[in-house]
Amino acid sequence: MGTEFQDLLKPEILSNVKHLELVSKVIVDGFMSGLNKSNRVGSGIEFSQYRSYEPGDDLRLLDWKMLARSGRYYIKQSEIETNISVKFILDASNSMQHKENGISKIEFTRLLIASLGYLARTQGDALGLFAVNEHQLYSIYPRVQKQHFNRFLHQLIEIKPEGRWPKAATETESLHDRRHRELIIVISDMYQEESELIDFVISQKTMRNEVIMLRVMGGDELDMSYSGTVTLEDLESGNRVKIDSNAVRKLYKENLSKANTSINEKLIEAGIGYEVFRMDEPIDEALNLFLKRRKNLL
């Protein structure tokens, strides 16, 4: 799916709600078709109770026997549908504007979140989206309704990266919910001044939830595959440095590997999953990781 996936990374697709929904459906359907059906979890498992049909509900969940007996439409509601919410927390700082091959990290992340959100929706989960930088907090609190997914995608497209990740803990306190079981997916390129991002991610972990940290990076950024002398710019501070890419490549990759190992060790100790995702590769592994972590909550 390599070449086909790259064809999906086009600004005209990633900035349109209808196109983004369609592409996320194509990606998820293709991924799910390769799984054994016994691995699929979703609405209707662990039947708990009935509730009245609401516009936007999946018609496949209607109980036709109840309709015949009562003349009313009822949905079989499962424990999974009522108890699990998926919360995406996006780093909306300016470093997410970094581009490779004409696609920025924020554009790639839109497709990643839309696809994970579509997969969560097929499982009957409530979806929430929060994007954070030092200037503002974008927020859509978790809901299950079908119409909510369009609002979710619209908000995702409206997010504009700027500034830095906030240092003040008070600005992110409203994102935490210690009362419910939820799957929290934090997406960032992990550029931080000190340890504010890692500290935030660790603060989200409770006994009742699952937390995943997804680090998004470009292929050139990971491999230092530039050639000759290049000028690198910190998009958040504005600082620039001129380097000989051939001379620093080995040291750069060694330091990046050490940094990733350090982040991984800290998050594993806190019971949090950590994965690095390249912008030049398909996102199947993210979907697989989502299903595994979600299963831990059931």
- So what's the pLDDT on residue 43? 45
173 Cβ contact partners less than 8 Å away, ≥ 6 residues apart: none
Statement: residue 144 has pLDDT above 80: yes
Answer yes or no: are the C-beta atoms of 181 and 294 closer than 8 Å: no
Q: Encode pLDDT of 105-129 as tens digits.
A: 999 999 999 999 999 998 888 999 9
DSSP label at residue 76: E
Alpha-helical runs (H) found in 146-278: 146-158, 196-203, 219-223, 245-269
Give mean pLDDT, residues 158-178: 77
Compute the distance between CA of residue 113 and CA of residue 24 in angstroms, rounded to an integer.
Answer: 9
Q: Which position has the higher pLDDT, 171 or 15?
A: 15
Statement: residue 245 has pLDDT above 60: yes
Compute the distance between CA of residue 53 and CA of residue 71 in angstroms, rounded to an integer.
Answer: 12
Statement: residue 42 has pLDDT above 70: no
21 Cβ contact partners less than 8 Å away, ≥ 6 residues apart: 114, 118, 149, 150, 153
Give mean pLDDT, residues 184-193: 93
Type of residue numbered 257: S
- So what's the pLDDT on residue 74? 67
How does residue 97 score in pLDDT terms, banded at 50, 70 and 90? Answer: very high
DSSP label at residue 14: H
**Confidence (pTM):** 0.81
From the CB of residue 12, how many other CB atoms can be counted at a distance below 10 Å? 7
Give the chain's domains with CATH numbers: 2-37+84-295 (3.40.50.410), 42-79 (no CATH)
Give mean pLDDT, residues 18-37: 82
How does residue 12 score in pLDDT terms, banded at 50, 70 and 90? Answer: confident
- So what's the pLDDT on residue 266? 95
Compute the distance between CA of residue 119 and CA of residue 36 in angstroms, rounded to an integer.
Answer: 16
Alpha-helical runs (H) found in 125-195: 146-158
Q: What are phi and psi of 18, to 5 degrees?
A: -65, -45
Q: Encode pLDDT of 270-298 as tens digits.
A: 999 999 999 988 888 899 888 888 888 77
Compute the distance between CA of residue 236 and CA of residue 166 in angstroms, rounded to an integer.
Answer: 12
How does residue 41 score in pLDDT terms, banded at 50, 70 and 90? Answer: very low
Q: Torsion-angle region of residue 275: left (phi > 0), alpha (psi -120 to 50) or beta? A: beta
Statement: residue 203 has pLDDT above 70: yes
- So what's the pLDDT on residue 88? 96
Statement: residue 80 has pLDDT above 50: no
